[in-house]
Structure 1
Amino acid sequence: MSSPSSLNATEKKAAFSIALLIALRMYGLFLIMPVFSVYAKTLPQATPVLIGLALGIYGLTQALLQIPLGLASDFFGRKKILTIGLLTFITGSIIAALSSTITGVIIGRAIQGMGAIASTGMALVADVSRPEQRTKMMATIGMSIGLAFMLAFITGPILYGWFGMAGLFWITAALAALALVQLHVFVQEPKKHIDKGFRFKEFIHTLKDARLIALDMSVFVLHAVMTAVFVVLPLILVEKLDFAAKAHWKLYLPVLAVSVVFFIPMIILHEKRKKYFQFVSFALVGLAISQIMMAVFNSSLLLIAAMLVIYFAFFNFLEAAMPAMLSRIAGEKYRGAAMGGYSTSQFLGAFVGSSLAGFLMSYSYTSVFYGTAILVIISALIILIVPKS
């Protein structure tokens, strides 16, 4: 018999199954990020703006459909919506794999994003867990997404060297098909579920809380910076430093490993000191510094590696810390509405960041880093001045 403070057997199985399901899909989305802009530049009719759009368009369609699909799962069932989402994602991956033009890839990526299942997966977590264990289960899923992100950056360049970009999209489709099998074999949907839907007045309440708005803006900027950086950085590595795309894993593997050494202590101190907004503001300032230094010191692989350690350390800290803060501030009653706004901001940021990078790199690659630095500094100032209670 499990204690009230620990996950029971059903919750452990559900947490693992749902985490694997979402991680397989997210790994596929992240897989192309380290090398896509290098490939896209070779496509007919490709322009910097279209390259940025192709990388980030999934964020726009995910942002538009995340909440509607979550609400639809209240009426039609979680597994049905998850199945539709995964099939849509597979369709988009196949279209992108078969495309030989930038327009075709944009269409495929947009359809990938339409398979927006994250909110439905989180709703399924709520269905199968006790309220006091829900945060642990969601943390497990968050960790799985973080691992998928790091694994994609290490394996993406290797797989690109072996199979090309079309091969990466086929691998993405295959992983989504595997997730579909796993959904129907291992994931159990309870007969009764907790409505994910939230009343309009609850959503309005979250818009009145300056702390929640500040976190929404921060995650928007965080993901805008992420996609912007990886529109332009692979091109700098290839064109300026003559560092082949298929070898980029040799950079990302040690960088990610070292960044973990810094970001884990930050998480521990963040929870121990309970200076939540001060730590987030500090991390955003560190992120801004990493962007300025990337703009100035991008002529050496060693210097870029050092800047990436700083970037990934603060990025991973913010990815872990901010959702926990939002959950704590919103409380049980408003958590669904708050998470809906947060997720939408996150995906919109991914779209805006890559689009902005595509526009700015028409002028110069370094202008992208200055642009992202300005965004992060504004976000840090907002976090500093927001009321803490």
Structure 2
Amino acid sequence: MTYLSLIMATRFLGLFIVLPLLSVYAMHLQGSSDTTIGIALGAYALSQMFLQVFFGKLSDKYGRKHIIAFGLLILALGSIVCAVSDNIWMLIFGRLLQGAGAIGGVVLAYLNDLSTEETRGKMFARMGQFIGLSFAIAMVVGPIWGAKYGVPFLFDITAVLAVLAIVLLYLKVPAAPEIQHFEDSAKISEVFKNRELIKVYFSGFMQKGMMTIIFMVTPLIFINKLGWEKMDLWKVYIPALVFGIFAMPFSAIMAEKKGKAKLVFILSAIFMTSSVIAFLLSNESSYIIGVVLFFIGFNMLEPVLQSFTGKIARIHEKATAMSIGNSIQYSGIFLGGLVAGVVKQYYGYNALFYLILAIGVIWIISLFTMKDFKGFDIKTFDNFDDEMINKFKNDENVHDVFIKEKVLIVKYIK
């Protein structure tokens, strides 16, 4: 399962590594404007958004491994197109192609298949930590290598990482166990009836949307407004990286061991929204503080976001719920880039920051209504019959009941 987390982190490293310099690089391409740069920044998320559920259904039919490999292959192809782009529209097409390998939900469903009830929370938290670490590495390596070798070189790295992930997938990741549940596959409308999932989805939307906005405006502000060199961006990303790394284990411990997931969600929202206030102060020190605050909030939420989705959703709706969650997060990435480009182009930086601040306040308020998840009491039965199964299915205190590797598993709400 660690290898599956590593594959996910490798994929995200390739996508994250271009973020620190992509807006500055795209600005010099033929046909570029603030709007088209914003679209290029978030374009990969648009195809991800629409194809997540489709890839999830394919994985149910043809198996997780083959679909994951196919998605990674598309990512590699899209990265090559981005690397050779000489105009903004070709770059946007390459970014769309990068995102067309929409396997995030499939990987999460695979991890869910491989983990046990006792280890599931830990495994999802570990994957979140791996993704957060890849994000942190990208923030250091991206500006340095991008300034030295060029942004097309970073896209080449993404293609190589995608191929390496395919090799790792077939050499190290085991086959998924057989799981039997007793409900029809969940409909999308059924998933959206769960209010707690809606709050988690909105948090993922805000987290990823603000990520795109921050990585569009930060290099533009420091290079164009403050006169920094591209190579100097590490001076703002390194402090943010250090604080972000310390935030990750804190949030994982609070959410998974202390049962304080609601507090983690609220604190992460406060940190990310506060980063916008720092940007509004409009001086070099406040910009640096703003990036640090954002990194802390982002890294606090990343280890628990998918874990919380997996805990709330029942077994028959997990793949659908996770695919929807990923689609919503990617919609945040795309809309974040689009809104940032349009608002900055026509109204300026401050209008953009005030808009995000207003939405951020609504986000924080909504999280105070979230239920504090206390986990489940789990019982297992080696011997069972249909009568016993029906009894558990009709018990209002039972969250879920299913069979995994010939063992009946019953999850009671604490």
Residues 195 and 337 (structure 1), Cα distance of their counterparts in 2 relative to 1, 3 Å cut: farther
Q: 1:237: which partner in 2?
A: 222
Change (3 A) 1:266 1:71: closer
Match in the other structure for 1:247: 232
- Offset at 1:275? 4.7
TM-score (norm 2): 0.83
Per the TM alignment, residue 278 of structure 1 is displaced from its structure 2 partner at its CA by: 4.6
The corresponding residue for 2:128 is 142
Change (3 A) 1:245 1:361: same
1:180: Cα distance to partner? 1.9
Show CA shifts across 1:212-249 (max 9, x none): 11211121111111101111111000011111122212
Measure, in 2, the Cα distance between the counterparts of 1:106 and 1:128. Answer: 36
Show structure 1 runs of 5+ residues with no match: 1-14
Distance 1:221 1:165 in 2: 27
- Distance of 2:33 and 2:319 partners within structure 1: 39
User: Is the CA contact 1:45–1:101 (under 8 Å) kept in the aligned structure 2?
Assistant: yes
1:259-302 CA-partner distances (Å, limit 9, x unpaired): 334554455445566454354234323322220221223x21x3
Q: 2:328 matched to which residue of 1?
A: 345
Residue number among 326, 329, 335 corresponding to 2:318 in the alignment: 335
> Among 15, 18, 30, which residue is 1:29 paired with?
15
Q: Does the CA contact (< 8 Å) of 1:123 and 1:194 recur in 2? A: no
> What residue is the counterpart of 1:77 in the other structure?
63
Equivalent position to 1:227, from 205, 209, 212 = 212
Aligned-partner residue type, residue 312 of structure 2: I
The within-5 A match list for 1:138-287 is 138-190=124-176, 193-194=178-179, 199=184, 201=186, 203-262=188-247, 264-270=249-255, 274-287=259-272
Q: Is the 8 A contact 2:128 2:306 kept in 1?
A: no
Q: In the alignment, what sits opposite 1:364?
A: 348
Q: Percent identity?
A: 33
Q: Normalised by the size of structure 1, how large is the TM-score? A: 0.88
CA distance in 2, matches of 1:107, 1:194: 39
Q: In structure 1, how many angstroms separate the alpha carbons of the residues matched to 2:277 and 2:368? A: 20
State which of 335, 348, 367 in structure 2 corresponds to 1:383.
367
Contact kept, 8 Å, 1:292 with 1:373, in 2: the verdict is yes
Q: Kindly provide the amino acid, as one letter, of the partner of residue 368 in structure 2.
A: L
Alignment of 1:310 with 2:310, yes or no, is no
Larger proportion of strand: 2
Q: Is the 8 A contact 1:229 1:369 kept in 2?
A: no
On the 8 A contact 1:211/1:388 being kept in 2, the answer is no
Aligned residues: 371
Moved more, 206-215 or 264-273: 264-273
Match of 2:74 among 88, 98, 106: 88
Paired position in structure 2 for 1:47: 33
- Please, which moves more after superposition, 220-229 or 75-84? 75-84
* Letter paired with 2:296: A
Q: CA deviation at 1:139?
A: 2.5
Q: CA deviation at 1:201?
A: 4.4
Separation (CA, whole Å) in 2 of partners of 1:118 and 1:92: 16
Worse-superposed segment, 147-156 or 122-131? 122-131
Shift of 1:331: 4.2
Q: Distance in 1 between matches of 2:179 and 2:53?
A: 15
Name the counterpart of 2:115: 129
Relative to structure 1, is the Cα distance of residues 171 and 66 closer, same or farther in structure 2, using a 3 angstrom cutoff? same
Deviations 1:98-157 (A, max 9, x none): 110000000000000001122222233234333433333332222211111110011000
1:278 to 1:125, Cα distance in 2 relative to 1, 3 A? closer
Tell me how far apart the structure 2 counterparts of residues 318 and 134 of structure 1 sit (CA, whole Å).
17
Could you say if the C-alpha distance between residues 22 and 63 of structure 1 is closer, same or farther in structure 2, counting changes exceeding 3 Å? same
In 2, distance between residues paired with 1:322 and 1:179? Answer: 23
Q: Deviations over 1:147-173 (max 9, x none)?
A: 111100110001102210111111111
8 Å Cα contact 1:291/1:372 also seen in 2: yes
What SS does the aligned partner of 1:99 have? coil
Distance in 2 (alpha carbons) for counterparts of 1:248 and 1:79: 38
Q: Offset of 1:181 from its aligned partner? A: 2.1
Alpha-carbon offset, residue 333 of structure 1: 4.6
**Higher-helix-fraction structure:** 1
User: CA separation in 1, counterparts of 2:70 and 2:269?
Assistant: 37
Q: Give the conservation status (yes or no) of the 8 Å contact 1:27–1:148.
A: yes
For structure 2, the residue ranges without an aligned partner over 5 or more in a row are: 374-414
